[in-house]
Amino acid sequence: MHEEKIGWKTAGPPPPLSTATVDALLAGWRKSRRVADVVALDGGLMNRNYRLRFADSTEAFVLRFFDRDPNACGKEAAALALVRGDVPVPEVLHVESNGRDEFPPFLIARFVDGISLRDLRRHGDSQMVADAAYDVGRVLARIARYQFERPGLLTSTLTIESGVFEGMTVSGVVDHFVQSPVFRRRVDSVLRERLLEWAHSSEGRFAEPSGASLVHGDFNSPNILVREEGGRWVVAAILDWEFAFAGSVWCDVGNMLRYERADQPRYEPHFSRGCVDGGLRMPDDWRERARLADLPALSELLAREAVPDSVVDELRNLISATVCSART
């Protein structure tokens, strides 16, 4: 299996911005401070991120533009403010929900030192990864404590947004994307039928409680910063909350363990142990619940026209492996 988001790699960092441009853009917030340094950051797949510093200060900040979905700026800022008391996330200092000077909406947050969990897994030893994965589980359990009355997409004020998916079950969402001409062009009829059969048959076995919890929506190693503290690797920050919604915690569990296989463990059993120690109840069938909850995300990606061919292959393989492993 590939690394998380391996096919989504961009050619490099976003285009550079001059200090004069950022100075003008942030004039209403920076006051008398002057921007001394602006560095484009790697890793943004759909949005642009820049690290900046002001003159006569070593403190760093992140300027994050919301290019993909302008409405996500306010939602991400609200989600970060909601959880910041007990979940490690960047502190948001300024938000321009409507954009400015022909730039899309953006926010300013404090820069968090750390490396991605993906990079730690590539370059660290097994104990480092085990420590970090355990702490990721503990953090996810804390995120799941934030409750909503019902599942659904979130607005910039963290209320439930009415829309096409309102009231849909997991299998209903999968059905919706499977009917897409783009999805049907990419996935053959045999795999489509197996996907739908398993989604519908599995869903009936799971009795989910009423209500919903906060779901990050893109909970995987590239979006998790970690660092060493006191001889152990812990979560420094959970980044990129633009896909946050109200739903089942198993969506985030499934995303985190999307590439996990029994014969090729990545973060298990440390991640699930952290979830339990953090207070999340893990029933005996939690792995199957997580695989089911991740299917809508995989299906939605296969219905996107702009997804690269290399990613399409990876997504098909993931769905096939999910259905096959779930049936064994």
pLDDT in tens, the chain (328 residues): 455 655 555 446 788 999 999 999 999 999 999 999 999 998 666 799 999 999 989 999 999 999 999 999 999 999 999 999 999 999 999 999 999 999 999 999 999 999 999 999 999 999 999 999 999 999 999 999 999 998 889 999 999 988 877 778 889 999 999 999 999 999 999 999 999 999 998 887 776 666 799 999 999 999 999 999 999 999 999 999 999 999 999 999 999 999 998 888 999 999 999 999 999 999 999 999 999 999 999 999 999 998 888 899 999 999 998 887 654 4
Class of domain 6-110: alpha beta
What is the predicted pLDDT for the residue at 11?
A: 44
Q: Collapsing DSSP states into helix, strand and coil, what is residue 181? A: helix
CA–CA dist 32, 119 (Å, integer): 38
CA–CA dist 270, 310 (Å, integer): 30
Can you name the CATH fold of 115-327? Aminoglycoside 3'-phosphotransferase; Chain: A, domain 2 (3.90.1200)
Contact (Cβ atoms closer than 8 angstroms) between residue 92 and residue 107: yes
CA–CA dist 54, 138 (Å, integer): 35
Contacts of 187 (CB under 8 A, 6+ apart): 178, 195, 302, 316, 319
In the chain, what are the domain boundaries? 6-110, 115-327
What is the predicted pLDDT for the residue at 218?
A: 95
What is the predicted pLDDT for the residue at 167?
A: 72
The H or E element spanning position 35 is strand 35-40
Q: Collapsing DSSP states into helix, strand and coil, what is residue 210? A: coil
Residue position matching structure tokens 């001889």: 231
What is the predicted pLDDT for the residue at 275?
A: 98
Residue position matching structure tokens 């321009």: 96
What is the predicted pLDDT for the residue at 5?
A: 56
